[in-house]
């Protein structure tokens, strides 16, 4: 959600710059904010997936494969 909002901020900043209503500094700030937002999103996603793997390992990961071998 935050990344989507920052993309919109970037789009609007470019439109304002092209219309002569703001400086290019605002466009650069929007791009920087979007980059940081994407980094935060990626880090959060990585942390979530890492925790899923930890839970899977804690529950004895691979038990599905072992159940198939018992047949």
Whether the predicted pLDDT of 27 surpasses 80: yes
Tell me the whole-structure pTM to 2 decimals.
0.73
What CA–CA distance (Å, rounded) separates 48 from 55?
Answer: 11
Residue 70 in any domain: the answer is no
68 belongs to a structural domain: no
- Indicate whether 65 belongs to any domain: no
* Domain membership of residue 35 as a residue range: 2-60
- Domain count of the fold of the chain: 1
Q: Is residue 71 part of a domain?
A: no
- Which residues 6+ apart lie within 8 Å of 9 measured at CB? 30, 33, 34
Residue 41 belongs to some domain of the structure: yes
Higher pLDDT residue, 69 or 12?
12
What is the model's pLDDT at position 7?
97
Residue partners of 38: CB distance under 8 A and separation at least 6: 3
CB 33 within 8 A of CB 43: no
For 44-67, how does the pLDDT look when each residue is reduced to its tens digit (9 = 90+)?
A: 999 999 999 889 888 887 666 655
């Amino acid at each position: 959600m935050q990344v989507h909002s920052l993309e919109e901020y970037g789009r609007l900043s470019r439109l304002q710059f092209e219309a002569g209503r703001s400086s290019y500094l605002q466009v650069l700030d929007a791009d920087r904010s979007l980059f940081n937002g994407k980094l935060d999103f990626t880090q959060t996603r990585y942390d979530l997936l890492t925790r899923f793997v930890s839970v899977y390992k804690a529950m004895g990961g691979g038990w599905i494969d072992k159940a198939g071998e018992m047949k």
